């Protein structure tokens, strides 16, 4: 976020699907005017507690990403992490359209989702689902959001993956994987060169033009 947003002072930033809100808290500590939204009441409570503990101003609302209760062109940055992968394609487009609507012209729309190229995340996910230990519900890893950004009329600037270490946490649930994880950490650069380095696919989009969306059949 720091790399993409560059400076935070006085920027209005919405995390649309905030979860714990820990990244937004850091944005607020860097001077951003932070807003949080989540449909889950428990997530709202957790985020409130974190912001209160750190004495940061919090604007948070319990609401759906499919009906964001803010006016058009309100935020400089609209983003989320670990949200879109839990929805079907038509719902993902709806969410992106809402994120675009409340974002200012030429503002940033940033999403982070589990990457389909993150092989160790996928192995760990498969094992946990087969052993009924998976607790995150429906979650589909994504190769690229290029097509969905186009359908939502958002200009995709670039995509890249991050978080090699994070995907290794998923295979630690498999018995006797500890030594393999130690080895994989030593050859992380090799996987990065092969394009298999990151758990999260980061998509950086820019809003251009008005909020009208041409529905594609």
Structural domain boundaries in the chain: 64-207
HSE at residue 28, side-chain half, CA atoms within 13 A, is: 21
SS3 (DSSP) at 166: helix
N-to-C CA span, the chain: 34
d(CA 216, CA 19): 31
191-212: average pLDDT: 80
pLDDT in tens, 63-106: 999 999 999 999 999 999 999 999 999 999 999 999 999 999 99
124-151: average pLDDT: 96
CATH code at 64-207: 3.40.50.150
Cβ atoms of residues 147 and 90 within 8 Å? no
SS3 (DSSP) at 213: coil
Q: Which residue has the tokens 């990065």?
A: 192
pLDDT in tens, 160-180: 999 888 998 898 889 988 878
């Amino acid at each position: 976020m720091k790399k993409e947003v560059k400076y935070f002072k006085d920027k209005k930033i919405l995390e649309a699907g905030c979860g714990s809100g820990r990244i937004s808290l850091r944005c607020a500590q860097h001077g951003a005017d932070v807003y949080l939204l989540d449909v889950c009441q428990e997530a709202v409570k957790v985020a409130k507690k974190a912001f209160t503990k750190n004495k940061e101003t919090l604007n948070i609302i319990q609401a759906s990403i499919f009906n964001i209760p803010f006016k058009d062109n309100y935020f400089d940055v609209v983003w989320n992490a670990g949200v879109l992968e839990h929805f079907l394609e038509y719902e993902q487009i709806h969410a992106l359209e809402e994120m675009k609507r409340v974002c200012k012209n030429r503002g940033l729309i940033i999403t982070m989702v589990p990457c389909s190229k993150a092989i160790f995340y996928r192995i760990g996910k498969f094992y946990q689902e087969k052993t009924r230990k998976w607790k995150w519900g429906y979650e589909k890893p994504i190769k690229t959001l290029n097509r969905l950004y186009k359908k939502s009329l958002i200009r995709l600037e670039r995509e890249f993956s991050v978080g090699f270490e994070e995907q290794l946490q998923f295979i630690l649930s498999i018995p006797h994987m500890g030594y393999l994880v130690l080895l994989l950490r030593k050859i992380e650069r090799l996987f990065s060169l092969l394009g298999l380095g990151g758990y999260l696919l980061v998509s950086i989009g820019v809003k251009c033009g008005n909020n009208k969306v041409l529905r594609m059949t």
